[in-house]
Structure 1
Amino acid sequence: MPLKAGQFPAWLGFGVLLLSLLGGSGLYLWNPEPLQILRHAAFDQFQRLKPRPYSDTAVKIIDVDDESLKRLGQWPWPRTRLAELLTMLQAAEPASIAIDIIFAEKDRTSPRTMLEFWQLPADKAQWLANLPDHDQVLAEAVGHGNTALGFALSPNPSLGDVPAIKAQYALIGTSPLSYLLPFQGALSPLPALEAAAAGNGALTFISDADGVIRKVPLLLRYQNTLVPSLVAESLRLAQKTRNYTLHSLADDAGMAAIGIGRLQIPTTANGEIWIHYSQPDSRRYIPAWRILAGEIDSRRLRNNILLIGTSAQGLMDLRFSPLGGIIPGIEVHAQALEQILGGKHLSRPGWANALELLAILLGGLLIGAVALGNGAIFSFVGFILALLLLWGCAWWAYAYHQFLLDPVLPSIIWLMTFLFTSIFRHIYSERSQRWVKQAFSRYISPNLVEYLISHPEQLELGGRRQTCSFVFTDLVDFTALMERLDPGQAVSLLNTYLENMIAIAFSHHGTLDRIVGDAVAIMFSAPIQQTDHQRRAVQCALDMQRFASRYAAELNAQGLAFGQTRIGVHSGEVIVGNFGGKTIFDYRALGDVVNTASRLEGANKYLGTLICASEATLAGCPEIASRRIGHLRVKGKSIPLTVYELLDETNLNPAALTAYQTAHELMCATDPGAIGAFQHLVDDHPSDKLAAFHLKRLLDGESGDLIELSQK
């Protein structure tokens, strides 16, 4: 029965990706309440990280705070006191005054109201009845200034007070009535007060599902009537206009903006504005008791919009803020007015949904394609980078343009896509691994096959101790080159390189221990013992380096950045033999010597050398040209090795070698003159990286020739 690979069909993987994106897009369009809460939580976090800076935009809160109640008596105050407060504020010539209090019932402290509870003689009752009515006193005060009162809207139609509308509307486009927040009932001020007021606006807040106030309506719908909010009315009176100009969206899909005098305020389709909150600031509050006590300079109030309300804890006019705390309801009005007058509007633009859906589809396609075609780590890193880019863009849009773009739902859908495609690939990867295991169970390792066929008597099952020499090579930066080249070209270059390197090893009768990517490990004196294995290893390393340098130069001349080859050489006792058991065996060497040879190859990177050989290897061929590097202690070793750099005799510079040896002897003797000697050597031979390495060590305060390598 033929074996079949486990690679999944492309159409099937694309089908999984497409289904996950369709499901995610449906979730986005459905927009269930839990996802809205998550989206709003992200917007809140943006505001907490960068709230709107407070600036004095001529909006002040006249605060009936706890101290005012303590000084002037419990709430509700007599309407005459409120009239006194209002009169003093009007004298300061503010732009407008808005009262965040609903005067829906008569003042219980009014003299005529008291007659209903007190049993008095007729003359005294008549005297009391002739006293001024508190509500009338307040109505007269309201009528003397540019003052707006407030009413409450309710979905309950049983509240049937029709609020008096003081403004007129000019429509540009179709009426946005059907898109405004609908209400059926209203609780209005007393008729006398309502008639005296210059403006009348709704005090209604609409919190989101989590109870947080993020938007304030400028316009609402009471039954089939347009009604303004208190924020809109305070602006209208301050702008000294009677009209609101309502701008509809081009496709008649609700409101786009509202014009109030010189102000053009962008809104949502429902006639709301997003509030860009600033941190609580005492500068926007003036306690009411200080006004009544005459302690406030009237110049602080001139041309300001004044909001009369309360922050007293016991009066329960408190709201949840996106910044994480509880603020008075009057401050919500104030923050909305500050934002409008400051001219910087936090908004969720009409194109946000289309952009987010496009990000979901394009980003999901990219993430899914990467997950289907690459390994887990690469795919996960790509997914994380995509998330960072998404959230970075959302933050940039908020921080620099005051746009609210949702990074939460695209992140969730991308995660779903990543998980589905990754799980799908994992399932087929397991099938592929089972196929590879089944296929390669029919093969044995090809190492040493030719030798064993020619010399079967040399085959020894098990292992034995033997002194061997090892040559380890590695190609610098070949992985980066492969990523830039066509796969066929990259494989061709690597195959040519490996073929020649292995041919050189075989010419010196070395044994190929293994190939790992572009790295080659060669073993000498096994399986056949070679008395001159150290010389063979050294000559093999030099010949490999000559070829590698020549090959790299040829490719570099063609514009291909083919790197240098680094080589490590070491000798010592190891255990050599067949490992793997009865199922499959591989002939190789095990022991610390093998690891050390590999470490010496890696040490070249830090030393600036190309061939690093141990003293144990050079002891068998002392005539080989070399120069001493020093005592090298590699990572994981406590005893340092004496190591040398092998030199190619074909381009040896005797003068430079003599200068290096002199400088090295001074360094070993901890002579301060070693720095100058190495400095002259580097000046005369800038390409001598080993001399530069020692010079840097000495300049960094090190001495002697003990070199510590903390990395492999």
Structure 2
Amino acid sequence: MTEGKKESRKSGQRPGKVLRGVLLGLFALCVAFGFHGFGWLTTLENKSWDLRVKTGMDPGKASDEIVLILLDQNSLDWAADTLGLSWPWPREIYGAVASFCRRTGARSLGFDVIYSESSAYGVADDTFFGNELARFGRTANAVVLGTKSGQGRSWPSHLDRQRFPLEGMDLIPAIEPGKTGAFTGITLPVPEVAKSSAVLCNVNIASDPDGIYRKVPLFSRFRSQALPSLGLGVYLAAHPGAKAGLFMERGQLRMAVNGMIVPIDDRGRAALNYRGPSGSHAIYSAAWVIQSELQAREGVALPKETLRIFRDKYVLFGFSAPGLFDIHSTPVDSQFPGVEIHATLLENLLSGDFIRETPLWAALLFSGVLVVCCGVFTAFYTRALPMFSLITLFLFLPVGAGFAAYAAGIWLPVALPLTAVVITIALALIVNYATEGRQRRFIKNAFHHYLSPHVIDQILMDPDRLRLGGERRTLSIFFSDLESFTTVSESMDPEALTRFLNRYLTAMTDIIHSHGGTIDKYEGDAIIAFWNAPLDTPDHAERAVRAALDCQETLAKMRPAFQEQTGHAVRMRIGLNTGVAVVGNLGSDTRFDYTMIGDAVNLAARLESANKQFGTYTMISGDTRRAAGNTAVYRPLGKIRVKGKGKAVPIFEPMGKETYVSRQTVISAFETGLTLYDEGRFKEAAEVFSKIAKEDPAAAAYADACRRFTREPPKDWNGVWHMLTK
């Protein structure tokens, strides 16, 4: 088949396969989007995000502008052993922390501690702590907002309502009413602490349903009052004039803080860009800070390094002791103090690298392109290895894209496109099995009698290479017949004859199949086969010649056994021709065979028969000789004109090199005689042929012809041997 025809056939199949792939992909996307809408992909998405964060985190990027003071177990033990303090500590201890931060030049200080109850050590203790906070001035303290819990239901009149003026609050209900509903309950610090705080912050932040903190709100609403989270509050305490506001950008809610843009969702939450596990920021023990402050108050000169240790730092104070119950799970660490979550928010704010979430429309577009490509490619490449490669590629793409996007600070959904791809692949496999499977079964049933299993496997791997309708192809055509088979068959009973033929035909068929040939049919003892259909076989002539020589060699080995079985020396005659023929499924609507017709086929049959006149057993045409190249050694036999054809055909006898060497003297003499024959010098040619006639049946045939032409010279001699019978 020409490349143009194959390309035309394939191009005719492409629109249907493309449409099928597109429809499969879009259907899979709709199903996956339904799963997404029901929340069935949330767990997969969250777990994949945690993996991306763990893989891509970089503790070395943590800012040195942020430090943590942690009340750890060692601090609790130190206070109990040295100061005789049990839990809870008196407020003056926290006052010492605030005093030390002021002494060392901290930018601001945030306490992740709830001071909602009056101190057990009396009002003076609360007053002392409040005074220390007021002296420092740049402190943020915690409140707890709730819907069912909370000591109050309204904002206290003694507190300024505009400590955190947030512009654009009216945008929140427009996003999605209910999701951003305000808290109705509030638990405030004692008045001494609340009045002395620069900013009051909500520290009641909810985790995701699985208990992991991936996003935190930058602000919360208590009725109409906005309260920042602690991380933002620490920044605001250091920058009293900072302005904050909400605005819409391309349909997405954004928050601006002092010119810094923060991407937030419809609940005011930002996705945190964790630097690393707990301890990524500089940490100081509360015991060390308190000891240092007490020493300074006693007049001990602190080292210069200590006095500068918090200079221009944002300081956050919180708990890490297990018994104080402020340990949470995050994507990077299952033991993550709550204050470090607030520190991460502040870190992202200062660095301007909050994770940016991909809009739903963009995620759908990415998923759509992915599944359509997956559907189309899997429609075209149905073989096992390409299909496996495609499945691997398309399963990797959403995951790989998710990791690449994380490196760029983007949360690209993985669960949605991955699920859509899995559904697309599953549907493609089902459809391919239904369509390709039917085609495969047809091919096996149609060709298992004609082709070797290897060739059938090749067709099954790429059915597009097969064309079952009639087509014109250049074939190498094989005809064989047993010499004197009528005599052999008449001397054997039917059962013995059947056993003999089955053994003979099986051996010859195996050889033809091993050389990539197609069996056309058996006609009694005759075998008809061809090469270069249904699959393209560029070296078809070489294969045909090698198959013919192997058949003769194998039969020679089997001849003694066959002679014992049949009583005759079994020999086969083979004719080979290469030429254009029509090949395909030919027959009626209900019964057909994959066969061939044409002049090239008829010539191969004539060459097989011509062996009788020349006393040879394998004869090939000049076209086969040219196409086969140096596959064998070829002995010229002259030119013949078969009955019913006007054009003469050069003919050759192929043989192996060993045979040629052993017969070289005879063959050389034959070629000399053939030259004389072509020149019309019949008497001289007869003398040459006669000398080797006993050793060479072809020479004997030519000797007889030369003697006849000597007696009756032909007119218009052209050296052609005329075949008068079929």
TM (norm. structure 1) is: 0.61
Once residues 127 and 193 of structure 2 are traced to their aligned partners in structure 1, the CA distance between those partners, rounded to angstroms, is 8
Q: Secondary structure at the match of 2:213?
A: coil
Name 2:262's counterpart in structure 1. Answer: 265
Structure 1 residues 345 and 441, CA gap change in structure 2 (3 angstroms): closer
Alignment of 1:172-571 (within 5 A): 175-176=171-172, 179=175, 180=180, 182-251=182-251, 255-259=253-257, 261=258, 263-277=260-274, 278-281=276-279, 284-294=282-292, 297-350=306-359, 353-377=360-384, 378-399=386-407, 401-436=408-443, 439=446, 450-452=479-481, 456-457=485-486, 460-463=500-503, 497-498=538-539, 500-501=541-542, 510=549, 529=571, 547=627
Letter in 2 for 1:387: L
> How far is the alpha carbon of 1:512 from its aligned partner?
7.8
> How far is the alpha carbon of 1:335 from its aligned partner?
1.8
Name 1:97's counterpart in structure 2. Answer: 109
> How far is the alpha carbon of 1:192 from its aligned partner?
2.6
Once residues 344 and 237 of structure 1 are traced to their aligned partners in structure 2, the CA distance between those partners, rounded to angstroms, is 21
> How far is the alpha carbon of 1:99 from its aligned partner?
0.6
> How far is the alpha carbon of 1:300 from its aligned partner?
1.2
Deviations along 1:49-73, whole A, 9 cap, x unmatched? 1103333331111111111111113
Instruction: Give the alignment's Cα RMSD to 1 decimal.
Output: 4.6
Q: Is 1:52–2:44 an aligned residue pair?
A: no
Letter in 2 for 1:232: L
Name 1:80's counterpart in structure 2. Answer: 92
For structure 1, the 5+ residue unaligned runs are 1-7, 113-132, 476-490, 514-521, 550-564, 570-616, 626-712
Contact 1:166 1:200 in 2 (8 A): no
Name 2:669's counterpart in structure 1. Answer: none
> How far is the alpha carbon of 1:434 from its aligned partner?
4.4
Structure 1 residues 262 and 21, CA gap change in structure 2 (3 angstroms): closer
Once residues 69 and 237 of structure 2 are traced to their aligned partners in structure 1, the CA distance between those partners, rounded to angstroms, is 18
Letter in 1 for 2:141: L
Structure 1 residues 166 and 194, CA gap change in structure 2 (3 angstroms): farther
Once residues 255 and 451 of structure 2 are traced to their aligned partners in structure 1, the CA distance between those partners, rounded to angstroms, is 78
Once residues 181 and 312 of structure 2 are traced to their aligned partners in structure 1, the CA distance between those partners, rounded to angstroms, is 32
Structure 1 residues 262 and 57, CA gap change in structure 2 (3 angstroms): farther
Name 1:22's counterpart in structure 2. Answer: 27
Deviations along 1:345-393, whole A, 9 cap, x unmatched? 322133xx22321232222223223334442513232121122233222
Once residues 22 and 531 of structure 1 are traced to their aligned partners in structure 2, the CA distance between those partners, rounded to angstroms, is 62
Q: Secondary structure at the match of 2:165?
A: strand
Once residues 233 and 494 of structure 1 are traced to their aligned partners in structure 2, the CA distance between those partners, rounded to angstroms, is 76
Name 2:145's counterpart in structure 1. Answer: 153
Contact 1:524 1:537 in 2 (8 A): no
For structure 2, the 5+ residue unaligned runs are 1-12, 81-85, 293-301, 453-474, 489-496, 517-531, 560-569, 575-615, 634-655, 665-726
Once residues 90 and 355 of structure 2 are traced to their aligned partners in structure 1, the CA distance between those partners, rounded to angstroms, is 40
Structure 1 residues 170 and 315, CA gap change in structure 2 (3 angstroms): closer
Structure 1 residues 414 and 468, CA gap change in structure 2 (3 angstroms): closer
Once residues 159 and 537 of structure 1 are traced to their aligned partners in structure 2, the CA distance between those partners, rounded to angstroms, is 112
Letter in 2 for 1:345: F
Name 1:40's counterpart in structure 2. Answer: 46
Q: Percent identity?
A: 20
Once residues 545 and 40 of structure 1 are traced to their aligned partners in structure 2, the CA distance between those partners, rounded to angstroms, is 70
Once residues 462 and 28 of structure 1 are traced to their aligned partners in structure 2, the CA distance between those partners, rounded to angstroms, is 62
Q: 1:67 aligns with which of 69, 74, 87?
A: 74
Contact 2:183 2:222 in 1 (8 A): yes
Name 1:116's counterpart in structure 2. Answer: none
Once residues 455 and 449 of structure 1 are traced to their aligned partners in structure 2, the CA distance between those partners, rounded to angstroms, is 19
Letter in 1 for 2:55: L
Once residues 110 and 66 of structure 2 are traced to their aligned partners in structure 1, the CA distance between those partners, rounded to angstroms, is 11
Structure 1 residues 97 and 19, CA gap change in structure 2 (3 angstroms): same
Structure 1 residues 538 and 103, CA gap change in structure 2 (3 angstroms): farther
Q: 1:143 aligns with which of 84, 109, 134?
A: 134
Deviations along 1:541-569, whole A, 9 cap, x unmatched? xx9897477xxxxxxxxxxxxxxx9x799
Q: Secondary structure at the match of 2:119?
A: coil
Letter in 1 for 2:30: S
Once residues 306 and 243 of structure 2 are traced to their aligned partners in structure 1, the CA distance between those partners, rounded to angstroms, is 33
Q: Secondary structure at the match of 1:391?
A: helix
Q: Is 1:167–2:163 an aligned residue pair?
A: yes
Letter in 2 for 1:419: A
Number of residue pairs matched by the alignment: 501
Once residues 62 and 21 of structure 1 are traced to their aligned partners in structure 2, the CA distance between those partners, rounded to angstroms, is 53
Structure 1 residues 466 and 177, CA gap change in structure 2 (3 angstroms): closer
Letter in 1 for 2:222: Y
Once residues 493 and 462 of structure 1 are traced to their aligned partners in structure 2, the CA distance between those partners, rounded to angstroms, is 25
Q: Secondary structure at the match of 1:292?
A: helix
Q: Secondary structure at the match of 2:317?
A: strand
> How far is the alpha carbon of 1:304 from its aligned partner?
0.6
Once residues 11 and 396 of structure 1 are traced to their aligned partners in structure 2, the CA distance between those partners, rounded to angstroms, is 34
> How far is the alpha carbon of 1:108 from its aligned partner?
1.2
Structure 1 residues 181 and 71, CA gap change in structure 2 (3 angstroms): farther
Contact 2:482 2:571 in 1 (8 A): no
Structure 1 residues 144 and 263, CA gap change in structure 2 (3 angstroms): farther
> How far is the alpha carbon of 1:422 from its aligned partner?
1.3
Structure 1 stretch displaced more, 59-68 or 363-372? 363-372
> How far is the alpha carbon of 1:76 from its aligned partner?
1.2
Once residues 310 and 57 of structure 1 are traced to their aligned partners in structure 2, the CA distance between those partners, rounded to angstroms, is 20
Q: Secondary structure at the match of 1:33?
A: coil
Q: Secondary structure at the match of 1:195?
A: helix
Once residues 82 and 198 of structure 1 are traced to their aligned partners in structure 2, the CA distance between those partners, rounded to angstroms, is 16
Letter in 2 for 1:343: G
TM (norm. structure 2) is: 0.60
Once residues 357 and 449 of structure 1 are traced to their aligned partners in structure 2, the CA distance between those partners, rounded to angstroms, is 60
Once residues 195 and 358 of structure 1 are traced to their aligned partners in structure 2, the CA distance between those partners, rounded to angstroms, is 51
Q: Looking at CA atoms only, which structure, 1 or 2, has the larger radius of gyration?
A: 2
Q: Secondary structure at the match of 1:144?
A: helix
Structure 1 stretch displaced more, 322-331 or 23-32? 23-32
Letter in 2 for 1:155: T
Contact 1:470 1:524 in 2 (8 A): no
Alignment of 1:577-588 (within 5 A): none
Once residues 102 and 545 of structure 1 are traced to their aligned partners in structure 2, the CA distance between those partners, rounded to angstroms, is 100
